[in-house]
Amino acid sequence: MFEKLTALPPDPILSLMGLFRQDTRSNKVDLGVGVYKDEQGNTPIMAAVHAAETRLLTEETTKTYIGMAGSALFNERIAELLLGNDHPAIKDKRIVTAQTPGGCGALRMVAEFLHQCAPGSTVWVSDPTWGNHIPLLSSAGLQLKTYPYYDGVKKEIRFDAMMSALEQAAKGDIVLLHGCCHNPSGADLDKDQWHAVTELMLRKGLLPFIDIAYQGLGDGLDEDAYGVRYVAAHVPEMVVAGSCSKNFGLYRERVGYLVVLSASAEQAVNAGSQVMTTIRAHYSMPPSHGAAIVETILSSVDLKKQWLDELNVMNQRINGLRRELNLALQQQGVDQDFSFIERQKGMFSFLGINKKQILRLREEFAIYMVDSSRVNVAGLASGNIEYVASSIAAVIR
């Protein structure tokens, strides 16, 4: 059976990680892998996470299964974090929340659920979007179409083109939106644009599907959730996939969640039964440890404050690095305008340089980024920004 198999091409980001590890140059800089890093280039464990784990070690009394939906308290706390404590969707019991193995698990379970609701449904995804959206959704049986999103020349959202494309969507189609900190462009919808998109989806009978993986790393926890909360307050149905990898630093613990919003509490019960059946058929129930850490933090006044303080430091550092990089590039005297870096949100931005220049950066200067020129701003540090800026200037002159 296996002798007929052929090797598939490696994942470009994972391949880049391997090349970076093999590079022995002391001045190497990794701007490819999408994880938060501190000034020393490490992805640290947050102090609040350490404290929560310590509590778990002394207070946890069992390792039995936690059920298909995961921990009920985790789901309650995460819904409040996402939507706010007093959101009408929560008060009206119109939502179902389930813990999942990471954001990828959430995306795939939502995709499977949507395919059960309407087999072969069409999902509209932004151009560009996070690369793994495509296999996660299409392999569940959903059909994909794209809408224009980011203008690589003007370095801004192609909002008029986006709206024109979505006007072509059919009733019942699904629209995948990034809740904040768009990956890979860093270009986010503003409030007025969220309002306009919501009105269009209501008018045309489209289903909002929001992926929010970076809440708190753009403008702040509540600010970054504006789009999700606004849409949830105005539409009868929507689905959300979220992740705790970035804002809690729990990458390897694989902590994610999905939320299904229904038109009524009765429909929410029915939808919940379908979601749990879908989960049961795939991984049966999620792992506990990472979600227990999140639950412990969000249920403790002191740990939540500590976490919020740490998250704010991360947020401010990323935004500070954006300003520093733009300034450093200006000081290099380059003709290209990089001011867009400061206007964008979260960990990612496109530099807008070509593949030949990207290859030169890697081979001559030990600076690693993916071929699209998407850079992880959080991979920078005050100690290497001048070097990175001078290297970029060298390859674009």
**Sole residue written with tokens 């793994």:** 132
Our answer to whether residue 124 is catalytic in this structure is no
Neighbours of 84 (CB within 10 A): 18
Catalytic residue selected from 124, 246, 307, 345: 246
**65-299: CATH topology:** Aspartate Aminotransferase; domain 2 (3.40.640)
Our answer to whether residue 246 is catalytic in this structure is yes
**Sole residue written with tokens 């030169």:** 360
pLDDT of residue 34: 87
Q: What token pair was written down for 44?
A: 């640290």
- SS3 of 348, please? strand
Give the mean pLDDT of 35-39. 92
pLDDT of residue 259: 98
pLDDT of residue 362: 96
pLDDT of residue 17: 87
Contact 70, 291 (CB under 8 A): yes
SS3 content of the chain, % helix, strand, coil (to 5): 50, 15, 35
Average pLDDT, the chain: 95
What are the phi and psi torsion angles at 389 (to 5°)? -65, -45
pLDDT in tens, 142-200: 999 999 999 999 999 999 999 999 999 999 999 999 999 999 999 999 999 999 999 99
Q: Measuring CA to CA, which residue among 191, 238, 246, 193 is closest to residue 217?
A: 246
Catalytic residue selected from 211, 224, 307, 345: 211
Contact 100, 120 (CB under 8 A): no
Per cent of the chain over pLDDT 90 is: 92
pLDDT in tens, 223-238: 999 999 999 999 999 9
Contacts of 274-278 spanning 24+ positions with Cβ under 8 A: 274/113, 274/116, 274/117, 275/69, 275/96, 275/98, 275/109, 275/113, 276/68, 276/69, 276/98, 278/109, 278/112, 278/113, 278/116
pLDDT in tens, 236-278: 999 999 999 999 999 999 999 999 999 999 999 999 999 999 9
Per cent of the chain over pLDDT 70 is: 100
C-alpha distances (whole Å) from 30 to each of 15, 45, 164, 214, 291 are 13, 19, 38, 20, 29
pLDDT of residue 11: 80
pLDDT at 124 over 90: yes
> How far apart are the C-alpha atoms of 97 and 276, rounded to whole Å?
10
Give the mean pLDDT of 122-132. 96
Confidence of residue 397 (pLDDT cuts 50, 70, 90): confident
Contact 281, 109 (CB under 8 A): no
DSSP 29: E
DSSP 169: P
Q: What token pair was written down for 238?
A: 């929507």
DSSP 6: -
DSSP 299: T
- CA 2, distance to chain mean position in Å, is 35
Give the mean pLDDT of 202-210. 98
Give the mean pLDDT of 367-385. 94
Whether 65-299 and 2-46+303-396 are alike in CATH topology: the answer is no
Neighbours of 5 (CB within 10 A): 7
Catalytic residue selected from 30, 37, 124, 130: 130
For 2-46+303-396, give the CATH class.
alpha beta
Domain ranges of the chain: 2-46+303-396, 65-299
Q: State the SS3 of 106-140.
A: HHHHHHHHHHHHCCCCEEEEEECCCCCHHHHHHCC
Sign of the CA dihedral with 357 first, then 362, 364, and 365 last: positive
